[in-house]
Amino acid sequence: MTTTAFLTDSTLCIGCKACEVACKEWNGVAEDGLEWSGFSYDNAGAVGHSTWRHVKFVEHSPEPGFGGNAPELSSWGFSSDVCKHCENAGCLEACPTGSIVRTEFGGVYIQPDICNGCGYCVVSCPFGVVERNPDDGRAFKCTFCYDRQKAGLVPACAKACPTESIKFGGIGELQAKAHDRVAELERRGMTDAVLYDAAGTGVGGTHAMFILRGDPRSYNLPPRPEVPTVHLKKAWTSSVLAAGLLLTGSLLAFLTLPERKT
């Protein structure tokens, strides 16, 4: 079984949101309101329990030479966000029921028949992807179209993407492709093109990579995501210290201060 990945190339994205729609249709995800946010053309805001693919809209101020197609045009950044399917996944580590597993394709999958809605994965995701559905009670996120992959199909979002901005394939092949693409964009004058894959952070790389222009922070991508298990050592050390103090303190107190006989 090959380990698979997404490569979402924002320089090819046209912001059509076909990925959002295809994802909702295939996975039967409920609609999440028809509210105008006022944040460019983004009305969903972020990935969540009812939004597993989410197109971000980043408008740039007009700047000669920055436009993608003509020097006089201002450029728009669109980037389709998704669960990162981390190599060291905080949600997977935190899940107390074993509902969250790593699939044979390398993705991180919440088994909906096991999740009991404890909500611990929600606070353990460094990308704020997992969310508890208040109506259903369970946590939801992108499944990496585990069912489609099992059947040898491409995930719904990648299948629907009309510009192949969302690429799906073997992780090694896509990583090579990503580096080539960034180099190519740089050759073409887009020197601000970057690959965001959280490699070299506590997350240890992701199965969903992104090619962006400019600072990933404009796209709500953290510069240094960290898997929460890195805090376990100092936390348990403090716990052992607290337990030791309670034990020895109580022993000392009762041994040295016996009750006065009345």
Q: Which is nearer to other proteins, 40 or 103 (CB)?
A: 40
CB 54 to other proteins: min, Å:
10
Q: Which is nearer to other proteins, 24 or 132 (CB)?
A: 132
CB 168 to other proteins: min, Å:
25
Q: Which is nearer to other proteins, 131 or 149 (CB)?
A: 131
* SS3 sequence of the chain: CCCEEEEEECCCCCCCCHHHHHHHHHHCCCCCCCCCCCECCECCCCCECCECEEEEEEECCCCCCCCCCCCCCCCEEEEEEECCCECCCHHHHHCCCCCEEECCCCCEEECCCCCCCCCHHHHHCCCCCCEECCCCCCEECCCCCHHHHHCCCCCHHHHHCCCCCEEEEEHHHHHHHHHHHHHHHHHCCCCCEEEECCCCCCCCCECEEEEEECCHHHHCCCCCCCCHHHHHHHHHHHHHHHHHHHHHHHHHHHHHCCCCCC
CB 46 to other proteins: min, Å:
6
CB 103 to other proteins: min, Å:
17
CB 74 to other proteins: min, Å:
5
Q: Which is nearer to other proteins, 119 or 170 (CB)?
A: 119
Q: Which is nearer to other proteins, 191 or 239 (CB)?
A: 239
